[in-house]
Amino acid sequence: MPLAKLTATELLGQLAAGQVTSAEVTRAFLRRIEQVDGQVHAFLKVDPEAALAQAEAIDARRAAGKPVGRLAGLPVAVKDLLCTRGEPTTCASRALEHFRPPYDATVIARLKAADAVLLGRTNMDEFAMGGSNENSAFGPTSNPWDLSRIPGGSSGGSAACVAARMAPLAVGSDTGGSIRSPAGLCGITGMKPTYGRVSRYGLVAFASSLDQIGPLAQTVEDAALLLEVLAGHDPLDSTSVDRPVPPYTQTVAKPLDGLRIGLVREHFGPGLDPEVDSAVREAVAIYTSLGATVKDVSLPHSKYAVATYYIIAPCEASGNLARYDGVHYGHRTKQPADASETDSALVQMYRHSRAEGFGPEVKRRIMLGTYALSAGYYDAYYLKALKVRRLIREDFDRAFESVDLIAGPVAPTPAFPLGEKVDDPLAMYLFDLYTISTNLAGIAGISIPCGFSSTGLPIGLQLQAPTFEEERLLRGAHMYQTATDWHQREPELEIAS
């Protein structure tokens, strides 16, 4: 079987056994990128020479009998919002097009310490604001299963590159579904860990109380492998939680005896595509056949999740993006000040720099957040949203008193056509209906493939677990993958000569 078709776990086994070198594996994926990424546009930057240099250095150390890291020689793609020293970190925005960080994000440092080969930087919605990957300043990414459709967002490039077998592993971030949604729409596995499980130091922030970094992979086993490297306390991140990281790869294959699964009754109603409904219910039936018990649970405040999220997230974005003023960070306009304008030259420079640097969706969210935080509206919008957020978390706490995992859809429909919702922000926001509450509650969630639509598009199953129960979540998801083969299917793409 071609190397690019193998899972990360299989490749790691072959590398450790000396059956293949890291240079050979890296060349295989670079060749695959060259063959298909012209159609998919999953990557914003690939540096073949640097990747091969990393691979050859790891091979030399291995050949000399020196210790190597947990991911030694395994290529990993990285979403382009994780600071990497000296490398462009653009967040898919003109505002940061020429930004080169002077330091590594903790996640990047951990990948380097594990001897991963950093393959390239993946495309995304600008500043992670979007659910379709159409908001990138450098053009959209396409879904490998149907190039006319979205891959999901904002980690669309990371999901698409794994689905198209251009990388065995990828790192993404999830603020309201940005790992799970593209994983579900592209037919791969994607996990949002508990808030605080993975360090956010060096992650270019969108909404600081919601953002979380996590793995995208072909299989749950591979996701467990990457999470094991990424997770852990970091004193550089004040929200990082100091608790041990379980050996996920050692326990992932152990079935969960007496597993109790909850189905949220509010998630199966108007707006849910019948094929998605059927695929999710069939997936739950598989769990029943494996010995799990299923019961209905209620999350009564979930109907307020979208409204709550689109107050809290834009408010935090408004503050986080204030630093991109053309002086401290980001694009600086070349447009001279207009003496006829009433604003000072400095204010004009700020205004023009931000107008030129930010795309429409980023501007929309900054304005929403600034308005909601303004005098006279803070209590009516932001403070009320924080109170509802607490109620959403309490709903999950009550549900998890009687079930171990919660199952449901990832998205209301399979991937929709590129351009279909780009001029309808409300429809785009509603597409995150089932994933947003996970971030508001700070709990863990995972998307695994559970079927295909009649038009051949992947459908994802979402599982949710209580805080810091990633081990349970991974074991539960792996149970399903041992009984099905949806995760083994891959899209057919034309190979460029």
- The position carrying tokens 């299923």 is 294
| pLDDT of res. 319 | 95
The count of other CB atoms within 10 Å of the CB of residue 271 is: 10
Which is catalytic among the residues 93, 132, 154, 353?
A: 154
Q: In the CATH hierarchy, which top-level class contains the domain 3-257+472-488?
A: alpha beta
Average pLDDT, integer, range 62-69:
96
**DSSP assignments along 358-392, one per residue:** S-HHHHHHHHHHHHHHSTTTIIIIIIHHHHHHHHH
Q: In sequence order, what are the beta bridge partners of 191? A: 446
DSSP category for residue 488: G
The answer to whether 22 is a known catalytic residue is: no
Which is catalytic among the residues 79, 155, 158, 173?
A: 79
Which is catalytic among the residues 178, 181, 240, 302?
A: 178
pLDDT tens digits, 375-386: 888 889 999 999
Q: Which of 80, 61, 82, 83 is nearest to 72 (CA)?
A: 61
Pairing type for strands 260-264 and 405-409 reads parallel
pLDDT tens digits, 114-134: 999 999 999 999 999 999 999
| pLDDT of res. 345 | 86
State how far the Cα of 49 lies from the Cα of 418, in Å rounded to an integer.
33
With contact defined as beta carbons under 8 Å apart, do 227 and 268 qualify?
no
Average pLDDT, integer, range 448-464:
98
State how far the Cα of 389 lies from the Cα of 104, in Å rounded to an integer.
32
The beta strands (E) that lie in 412-457 are given as 444-452
Average pLDDT, integer, range 304-325:
96
Q: Taking phi first (over 0 means left), then psi (-120 to 50 degrees means alpha), and beta for anything else, what does residue 115 get?
A: left
Q: Which two tokens stand for residue 455?
A: 């038009």
With contact defined as beta carbons under 8 Å apart, do 160 and 186 qualify?
yes
Q: Which of 242, 185, 239 is nearest to 216 (CA)?
A: 185
| pLDDT of res. 375 | 84
Q: Cα-atom radius of gyration of the chain, to the nearest Å? A: 22
pLDDT tens digits, 205-222: 999 999 999 999 999 999
Query: Is residue 342 over pLDDT 80?
Result: no
pTM reported for the whole predicted model: 0.97
Average pLDDT, integer, range 166-195:
98
The answer to whether 278 is a known catalytic residue is: no
Domains of the chain: which residue ranges? 3-257+472-488
Average pLDDT, integer, range 364-368:
96
Going by pLDDT thresholds of 50, 70 and 90, the confidence category of residue 397 is very high
User: Under 8 Å CB-to-CB from 486, ≥6 apart: which residues?
Assistant: 187, 448, 449, 450, 451, 452, 458
State how far the Cα of 471 lies from the Cα of 449, in Å rounded to an integer.
19
φ, ψ at 405 (rounded to 5°): -135, 150
State how far the Cα of 368 lies from the Cα of 371, in Å rounded to an integer.
5
Q: Which of 417, 471, 409 is nearest to 436 (CA)?
A: 409
The answer to whether 178 is a known catalytic residue is: yes
With contact defined as beta carbons under 8 Å apart, do 121 and 154 qualify?
no
